[in-house]
Amino acid sequence: MTQGAVSRLIQSLEEDLGLKLFTREGRGLSLTPAGEIYHREVSDAIDRIGAASRAARYSVDSGILSISAVPTFAMRWLIPKLPDFQAVHPDILVDVIAGDGPTNLALGEYHLAIRFCEPPFGDVVAQRLMSEEVGALCAPALLRNGRPFERPEDLLRFPLLGHSTRPEAWPDFLSAMGLGPLPAPKPSFEHFFMLAEAAVAGMGIALIPLFLVRDELAAGRLVQAVPMTIRPRRAYYLLHNRPAGQMRMVRAFKSWIRRAAAEPSSRPPVARAGQEA
């Protein structure tokens, strides 16, 4: 869809509604208050149609197994391993949907969900996949001759990049190092892979689960700023509702992922670097 097409659609929509949804201010444009409200309502409604469609599609056992997974976990861990699952179960097609936020398992919008959360309770079936080890990572250029900071206070000399859905991460880490509360408001990103990009680019120091940035660590694009890692209480869980547990596809996936998660996920950097050479 080109820019021109969108411009035209906006125009005809504004004409239909009889009001301006955007304020044009020279080179840019931004939503009017009415436009904001309308956008919220309509995109909400469209989301519901999408959800209903997925629920309908996945309600029949069509050989498609749908999984809502937290974005970076899906990108860096799940998807790379999927070919293996495919090889074991060629008849099951896996459909991965990026999804944060609370799960809507009851609606049947997807069969399985992978979330980073506390051990869940209630009417949901949960399988713990793995915990993670979080380190303070940055580009090597930020360190003096490639060595980690000696004093924890040195961390505070750089922007501490945050993750929108984990506001507690930096406070936890700093207090574990015996430092006070987080000094300044920091730039934060929605996904770890964005955070990783920012750190690689030298924007500052980011708290990232090590297994998500194996490659960057192995290649030396990211290094630990201080020789310490923490293990959050939250972990990755595979979730589904009780009825879904009956499905052949779900059972197959659960037994596969149990084994996949048991494998050592963060190989020693040396071996990894060797593979890349």
Interface residues with its own copies (CB under 8 A) are: 16-19, 34, 37-38, 41-42, 44-46, 48-49, 51-53, 55-57, 59-60, 62, 64
d(CA 98, CA 252): 21
Instruction: State yes or no: residue 1 binds DNA (CB under 7 A).
Output: yes
* Residue (22 or 38) nearer to DNA, CB: 22
* Residue (12 or 275) nearer to DNA, CB: 12
The interface partner of residue 176, options being DNA, its own copies, none and the CB cut-off 5 to 8 Å by kind, is none
Instruction: State yes or no: residue 28 binds DNA (CB under 7 A).
Output: yes
Helices (H), the chain: 3-17, 33-59, 71-73, 79-88, 169-176, 192-200, 214-219, 248-262, 269-276
Shortest reach from residue 79's CB to its own copies, in Å: 23
**Pick from 26, 102, 185, 264: which binds DNA (CB under 7 A)?**
26
* Residue (28 or 83) nearer to DNA, CB: 28
Task: Name residue 14's amino acid.
Answer: E
Instruction: State yes or no: residue 49 binds DNA (CB under 7 A).
Output: no
Structure tokens at 68: 């809502």
The interface partner of residue 49, options being its own copies, DNA, none and the CB cut-off 5 to 8 Å by kind, is its own copies
Read out DSSP for 73-135?
Answer: HIIIIIHHHHHHHHHH-TTPEEEEEE--SS--GGGTS-SEEEEEESPP-SSEEEEEEE---EE
Q: Which residues are at the interface with DNA (CB under 7 A)?
A: 1-5, 7-12, 22, 24-29
